[in-house]
Structure 1
């Protein structure tokens, strides 16, 4: 199957997807309620993009095409409120967070769709372990070559986004020591990681054709890269963020990505190179494991910085573009989080330390999601 043509889209438009946890309100473990919730939402005339995910204790919501931070926040808030109304009818809870703190992967149920059943047959237990929850952000690109240039430029800042969004310190009842343990589940898949380094669409089409001829892939959905092009939308899709605990943080993260993208498109502060990826896996691991305190190695200069400080410096550098886009407040709030070493992983650990019962922690996550 050939790669579909790259669609036309307006540069720097946004689309946001959030994968959310469905939990029982008696024990706050994950519950296989997605089919029932989708039926109730249809009955209540829910307006918005909502769909099942790979296991039936997950649900995904998605905005339409947004122009900026305010638009994203308004759409996510409306989606959240409609989803909560349906959840109340079923007496289930909904929350953010990159991983459920104590669910057992073996108890999960694969969704009924043919695609998800195929993935279960292909990947075995990894499919159930894929019950993790992420935020995906699409950025509109003026053309396919520009999309690839933006993809590889944005890759330099993947650790920054991981640290800011990290919300998965607990897995199967234990503190993993990672700020974002969710990404470890994704790294297990053979087609995860980074995209190949090509900077023009014809070369990318050639790469895809070779992969398709092997039978390994059929579409872009088969790649679980940290950032991937989405030709049917005319976007690149940033996929490394944990689902935040509240919609406001999700909107802020989208605003930061939009601002970085404008800086890369307009100023062209550097030319991406294959050698940028020499430190990619190291930087990404440091962000997942240590969050803001991780080491970030500048791929161009080799300078080593504490990641939290590097985030503050980045936000300061892209300030003029935030002013143009109206994202100053959102970006400044994230810079302050980096300076004070505040993220959702810290919030989860602090609340667990005060009351070390994981079901109670999930209950608090549900309350925060509804704020």
Structure 2
């Protein structure tokens, strides 16, 4: 299948997708009730949508196209309210977080659907292990060339979004030592990681044709890159964030990305280069493992610094853009996160007093459904 043309969209518009956990209110393990929840929410009011994900204990909600943080947050709050109401009717709970703290992959059930069955047959047990939960943010781009420029320009900031959103310290009952263990499940897929360094849509089309000719890929959906172009939407899609524990954090992360894209596009503080990726894997690992305490290497200057400090400096450069985009409060909330700690820290604090993981998941669900 040839690569489709890159659709034009209004630059810097944004959309958010959130993968969410469905929990039993009896033991707060994952509950395979996606079909029931989708039925209950089929007549929801609003421009957002809701759809199944790869296993029956997850759903994905997606916002409409938004221009500013305030309306995006209002829509996410509306989503949350209607979902929470439907969940209570079914006696289940909804939670954010990048992983469930104690579920076991072997107990998960693949959602009935052609693509999900294809993934299950291709990847075996990895498909069930893919019961992890992320936030994806789309940013509108005028054309494919500018989309690829922005994709590569954002590569040095990928650790920011991993560390700020990290909410997956626990896997199958154990503290992994990672702030974002979710991404370890994503990295297991052969077409994950970084996109190839192509700088024009025509050049990317040549790459796609070569990959398609091998039979390895059939569409853009087969790429699990950290950032990937979405030609049918006219966007680039950032995919590294864990699902936060609240919709407020989800909206703030989208606003941060929008402000950053505006600053990069208007000011062009540097030109992306293939060598920028020399430190990419190291920086990404530091963010996953240590969160805001990680260290990153600047691909241009080769200087090492604390990730928290790098985010703080970046935020200081975005004040003017945040003002123009109505995102001042959102970015201030992220500044607070730098000192208060990310969601992974909050989950560990819930556990620190000897609380069972069941109680941690209960508190997580209460936070998402009401915070």
Q: CA deviation at 1:45?
A: 4.1
Aligned to 1:129: 129
Aligned to 2:191: 191
Aligned to 1:369: 368
Aligned to 1:102: 102
Q: CA deviation at 1:336?
A: 2.6
Q: Number of paired residues?
A: 369
Aligned to 1:88: 88
Is 1:337 matched up with 2:345? no
Secondary structure at 1:252's aligned position in 2?
Answer: helix
Q: Greater shift after overlay, 199-208 or 350-359?
A: 350-359
Tell me the distance in 2 between the aligned counterparts of 1:65 and 1:40: 24
Unpaired stretches in structure 1, ≥5 consecutive residues: none
Q: How does 1:221-260 map to 2 (within 5 A)?
A: 221-260=221-260
Tell me the distance in 1 between the aligned counterparts of 2:44 and 2:329: 34
Tell me the distance in 2 between the aligned counterparts of 1:70 and 1:46: 19
Q: Greater shift after overlay, 329-338 or 82-91?
A: 329-338
Is 1:148 matched up with 2:148? yes
Query: Per-residue CA shift, 1:105-132, capped at 9, x if unaligned?
Result: 0000001001000000000000000000
Aligned to 1:219: 219
Query: Per-residue CA shift, 1:152-185, capped at 9, x if unaligned?
Result: 0111100011000000000000000000000000
Q: CA deviation at 1:354?
A: 2.3
Tell me the distance in 2 between the aligned counterparts of 1:77 and 1:45: 13
Confirm or deny: 8 A CA contact 1:102 1:173 kept in the other structure: yes
Aligned to 1:71: 71
Q: How does 1:18-57 map to 2 (within 5 A)?
A: 18-42=18-42, 44-47=43-46, 48-57=48-57
Q: CA deviation at 1:134?
A: 0.2
Query: Per-residue CA shift, 1:295-335, capped at 9, x if unaligned?
Result: 11000000100001111011001222112112122112212
Tell me the distance in 2 between the aligned counterparts of 1:50 and 1:284: 30
Confirm or deny: 8 A CA contact 2:44 2:82 kept in the other structure: no
Confirm or deny: 8 A CA contact 2:186 2:192 kept in the other structure: yes
Unpaired stretches in structure 2, ≥5 consecutive residues: none
Computed over aligned residues only, the root mean square deviation of the Cα atoms, in angstroms, reads: 0.9
Is 1:175 matched up with 2:165? no
Is 1:277 matched up with 2:277? yes
Aligned to 2:264: 264
Change (3 A) 1:134 1:213: same
Confirm or deny: 8 A CA contact 2:12 2:139 kept in the other structure: yes
Aligned to 2:306: 306
Secondary structure at 1:51's aligned position in 2?
Answer: strand
Secondary structure at 2:41's aligned position in 1?
Answer: helix
Tell me the distance in 2 between the aligned counterparts of 1:318 and 1:41: 38
Tell me the distance in 2 between the aligned counterparts of 1:41 and 1:64: 16
Is 1:349 matched up with 2:344? no
Secondary structure at 1:370's aligned position in 2?
Answer: helix
* TM value normalised by structure 1: 0.98
Confirm or deny: 8 A CA contact 1:292 1:341 kept in the other structure: no
Confirm or deny: 8 A CA contact 1:186 1:224 kept in the other structure: yes
Tell me the distance in 2 between the aligned counterparts of 1:319 and 1:149: 23
Q: Greater shift after overlay, 348-357 or 20-29?
A: 348-357
